[in-house]
Copies of this chain bind each other. A is one copy, B any other.
Amino acid sequence: MEQTHINFFKKLLGEDNAYFDEAHKLAYSYDATRKVFKPDAVLFPKDENEVSKILAYCNDNLLPVIPRGAGSGFTGGALAVSGGVIISFEKHMNKILEIDLENMVAVVQPGVINMDLQKKVEKLGLFYPPDPASQTYSTIGGNVAENAGGMRASKYGITKDYVMALRAVLPNGEIIRAGKKTIKDVAGYNLVGILTASEGSLAVITEITLKLIAKPKLKKTAFGVFKSVNEAMNAVYKTLSSGVKPVAMEFLDNLSIKAVEENFHKGLPKDAGAILITDVDGDLEISLDKDLEIIEKVFKENGCFNFIVAKDEKESNDLWFSRRNCSQAITCYGSLKINEDITVPRSKLPALLEKINEVSKKYDVLIPCFGHTGDGNVHTNVMVDKDNEDEVKKGYAAIEEIFKITIDLGGTLSGEHGIGISKAPYMKLAFSDAEMELFRAIKKAFDPNNILNPNKMGL
């Protein structure tokens, strides 16, 4: 980076909030994709005004700017693929500014860790439902930028359903507000809507106002073992369309079950086609029991031969063990896991899993699947040997075919990970030229010089 730039940032932020050394560049060069792109600078602004000054300067000097939460994303959203300046919120802009009990709203800075917010509001009898698997380290800013999902999406929705208002800085340094602490607000275009899930490419979010709900008093866990994955997938959408609203409805297929059992010896039935694990919640015991009654009935009508309801929290944790550990367990199938979060309408889950099985046979690769079936979101893992070039090639061919199948079934490339760089090559499968042109026009409206997180999302 040019010395004039370095001098500017050091003067603006102070020596200990602006870094240009190799160690910092390396530390901020990666994310969960394991790809490495070194930035030219790593900056820790103290407040919105400093963010504004950084952006105005970068806009004038055409320096790429990459806002970064915890770097836990799966698609490269926080990677400095074209070099430039990382803006990190982890050092200063990481505070819960307000928990407004009267309006049931939290106001936070982007660097707040999801679980820290959850814990704080739960102590006050409130609840922030979005719970991405990364919840113990990912930040609310990153969650909003990627519109993070999680296990509780089936009942409670995803990040976008909780963002009421934002403060953000445009690439030209202008500070904007969007939305209010109100359920209804229809004045002006829905900037909250377009900024959520924009992967840090339209504006830098500096403050987030989140809707909270009352914490449900009770939760119960049920666990069903199915003969076939097809029957389990039928059970999922039939349960949901019965009107029961499980908090989560998670599944493991046979390969995932086997992997967990071989790694952890929990007594899982290695020949089962699938396991479904579900939580129900609410304030009244009788209401939870009624839900579980319906779930048991639907499960058993659809090939469930073993149905267990946890008696207490310990048993619930035991039942959840397999789901929580399967992502790690399946690494036994290959040194490279090509992991995609495809999502289809729930009724298409049986067809999706059947077709993934055909792809697995066609390309002779193992594809363990698990995930959030309650909202049609399947984590599909093509497992290959990373040192076997031919197998890696087959793996990516299999994934491309799975994306096509997903789109054909009315589904989407990504339920919660975003596009970033990992899925950018597949955007053309999902979007027409007119739609891609519109995305580019929107990007240009916010960021005419293309400085904000450039070269992402296939734009």
Contacts and interface: CB of A to CB of B under 8 A. Distances in A.
Interface string A233-244: 000010011110
Interface of A: 100-105, 125, 146-147, 149, 153-154, 157-158, 160-161, 170, 174-178, 180-194, 196-198, 202, 214-215, 237, 240-243, 245, 283-284, 286-287, 290, 343-347, 372, 375-377, 410-419, 423, 427, 430-432, 434-435, 437-439, 441-446, 457
Given A176-B438, A284-B284, A432-B176, A186 B147 contact: yes
Given A158-B184, A160-B193, A283-B287, A243 B411 contact: no
The 6 closest A-B pairs by CB, nearest first: A193-B193, A214-B243, A102-B347, A184-B415, A174-B434, A441-B445
B347 A182 contact: no
Q: Tell me which of A185, A414, A419 has the highest count of chain B C-beta atoms within 10 A of its own C-beta.
A: A185
A415 B185 contact: yes
Given A182-B410, A189-B198, A192-B193, 7 more contacts: A101-B241, A158-B183, A182-B376, A187-B418, A187-B423, A193-B194, A283-B290
A441 B446 contact: yes
A209 to B, nearest CB: 10
Copies assembled: 2
Given A286-B286, A434-B175, A445-B445, A343 B190 contact: no
Contacts of A240: 104
A188 B446 contact: no
B189 A439 contact: yes
Contacts of A146: 186
B414 A185 contact: yes
Contacts of A345: 100, 102-103, 105, 180-182
A415 B190 contact: no
25 contacts: A100-B347, A102-B347, A103-B346, A104-B241, A147-B190, A157-B183, A158-B183, A176-B438, A181-B345, A182-B345, A182-B375, A182-B376, A182-B410, A184-B415, A186-B418, A186-B419, A187-B412, A187-B431, A188-B457, A191-B438, A194-B442, A214-B245, A283-B290, A284-B284, A438-B446
Contacts of A346: 102-103
A380 to B, nearest CB: 14
Contact of A347 (B103, B161, B286, B427): B103
A242 B125 CA distance: 10
Contact of A194 (B161, B194, B243, B427): B194
Contacts of A178: 435
Given A184-B377, A185-B343, A287-B284, A197 B190 contact: yes
A182 to B, nearest CB: 5
A324 B241 CA distance: 33
A196 B193 CA distance: 9
